[in-house]
């Protein structure tokens, strides 16, 4: 199964993606974690040190040129070997294997055409989501621009994450609608970081699939540590992830 995490900035997409992958690996599933965000934080959230992160594919000019050609752009580049070649293993409590692929985002900074890089990124992402029969967790960039047809087509489920605010819910609704229009109807809406004492019954009735509190264990830890897994609240997190997976399957 393939699941993508979308939502506006800072709502917890990366955190939820890392929790999901960690849960699946403890259930014995092998998971590909795909960081398709510019911030490149999924690896560190999952437990890698900064120095252990793979170089984003987008910066691999050598590979881009090798696969896409320097002149006329190759339309169907060979990418089958790239997941194994580019991925970095994430240590975890297993028994499933977690592997991280870092895509990066295409920018035109510095001028010139980024079409080759863009083409290779798209080809690799669609290879992973369309042709591999494995668990894939994709951490998308904030907003909706990333929800291209190519990404969405092969994904089996979309988790839209929002903070507990009306504005957040409105943004989540537009992301959901956009994904629907692209044909991705299997969606779950997660209200994340609900402050203590705030009642969520009203929004649960409005189609929110799951509400997660703001976990003190994570708030305490994050000043010194980028990891979001292995928290004291693991039981509550696992219960939430289980619920999410059941909703999407
Ligand atoms: N349920 C939670 N309880 C406590 N802290 C949380 C929770 N969910 C996320 N956080 C914290 O909120 C911050 C934002 O989370 P995260 O980086 O996952 O969001 P994001 O949507 O991926 O952000 P970006 O748009 O920048 O990629 C992080 O510091 C994270 O540790
Ligand atoms: Mg993120």
Q: DSSP per residue over 220-242, as a string?
A: HHTTT----SS-TTHHHHHHHHH
The residue-averaged pLDDT of 177-194 equals 92
Whether residue 19 is predicted with pLDDT greater than 90 in this model: the reply is yes
Per-residue b or e along 195-224, where b marks 16 or more CB atoms closer than 10 Å to that residue's CB = eeeeebeebeeeebbbbbbebeebeebeee
Task: Please give the domain boundaries of the chain with CATH numbers for all domains.
Answer: 2-248 (3.40.50.300)
Directed axis angle between helix 61-68 and helix 115-126, to 10°? 80
The residue-averaged pLDDT of 123-147 equals 78
Average pLDDT taken over every residue of the chain: 86
Peptide bond into 201 cis (omega under 30): no
Ligand 2 geometric centre to CA of 57 (Å): 18
Residue to probe by mutation, ligand 1, list 14, 15, 216, most atoms within 8 Å of CB: 15
Give the position, in ligand 1's atom list, of the atom nearest the Cα of 10: 23
Q: Residue 110: pLDDT band by 50, 70, 90 thresholds?
A: very low
The residue written with tokens 């939820």 in the block is 16
Q: Residue 228: pLDDT band by 50, 70, 90 thresholds?
A: very high
First to last CA, the chain: 8
Percentage of residues of the chain with pLDDT beyond 70: 88
Ligand 1 geometric centre to CA of 219 (Å): 10
The residue written with tokens 């992958």 in the block is 21
The residue-averaged pLDDT of 150-169 equals 86
Residue to probe by mutation, ligand 1, list 5, 12, 244, most atoms within 8 Å of CB: 12
Show the tokens assigned to 170. Answer: 């409105």
pTM reported for the whole predicted model: 0.92
Show the tokens assigned to 246. Answer: 């059941």
pLDDT given at position 189: 96
CA–CA gap between residue 95 and residue 233 (Å, rounded):
21
Residues contacting 29, CB < 8 A, separation 6+: 96, 135
Q: Ligand 1: residues within 6 Å at CB?
A: 7, 9-15, 37, 39, 41, 142, 192-193, 212, 214-215, 218-219, 222, 228
Look at residue 94 and give its three-state secondary structure. coil
- Count Cβ atoms below 10 Å from residue 9 Cβ, excluding itself: 10
Nearest of 43, 54, 42, 49 to residue 83 by alpha carbon: 54
Show the tokens assigned to 171. Answer: 């943004």
Q: Residue 107: pLDDT band by 50, 70, 90 thresholds?
A: low
Whether residue 146 is predicted with pLDDT greater than 70 in this model: the reply is no
pLDDT given at position 147: 65
pLDDT tens for residues 51-89? 999 988 888 888 888 888 766 666 788 888 988 899 999
CA–CA gap between residue 11 and residue 142 (Å, rounded):
9
Nearest of 84, 90, 89, 122 to residue 103 by alpha carbon: 122
Whether residue 205 is predicted with pLDDT greater than 90 in this model: the reply is no
Whether residue 149 is predicted with pLDDT greater than 80 in this model: the reply is no
């Amino acid at each position: 199964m393939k699941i993508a995490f979308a939502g506006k900035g800072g709502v917890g997409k990366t955190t939820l993606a890392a929790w999901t992958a960690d849960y699946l690996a403890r259930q014995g599933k092998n998971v590909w974690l795909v960081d398709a965000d510019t911030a490149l934080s999924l690896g560190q959230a999952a437990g890698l040190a900064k120095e252990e992160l793979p170089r984003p594919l987008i910066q691999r000019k050598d590979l881009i040129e090798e696969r896409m050609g320097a002149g006329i752009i190759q339309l169907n580049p060979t990418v089958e070997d790239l997941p194994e070649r580019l991925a970095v293993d994430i240590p975890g409590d297993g028994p499933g294997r977690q592997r991280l692929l870092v895509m990066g985002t295409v920018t035109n900074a510095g001028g010139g055409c980024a079409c080759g890089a863009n083409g290779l990124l798209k080809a690799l992402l669609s290879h992973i989501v369309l042709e591999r029969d494995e668990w894939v967790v994709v951490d998308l960039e904030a907003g909706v621009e990333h929800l291209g047809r190519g990404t969405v087509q092969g994904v089996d489920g979309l988790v839209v994450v929002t903070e507990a605010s009306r504005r957040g819910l409105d943004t989540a609704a537009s992301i959901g609608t956009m994904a629907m229009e692209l044909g991705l109807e299997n969606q779950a809406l997660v209200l994340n970081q609900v402050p203590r004492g705030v009642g969520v019954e009203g929004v649960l009735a409005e189609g929110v699939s799951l509400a997660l509190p703001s976990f003190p264990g994570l708030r305490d830890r994050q000043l010194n540590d980028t990891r979001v897994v292995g928290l004291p609240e693991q039981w509550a997190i696992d219960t939430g992830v289980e619920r999410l997976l059941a909703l999407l399957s």
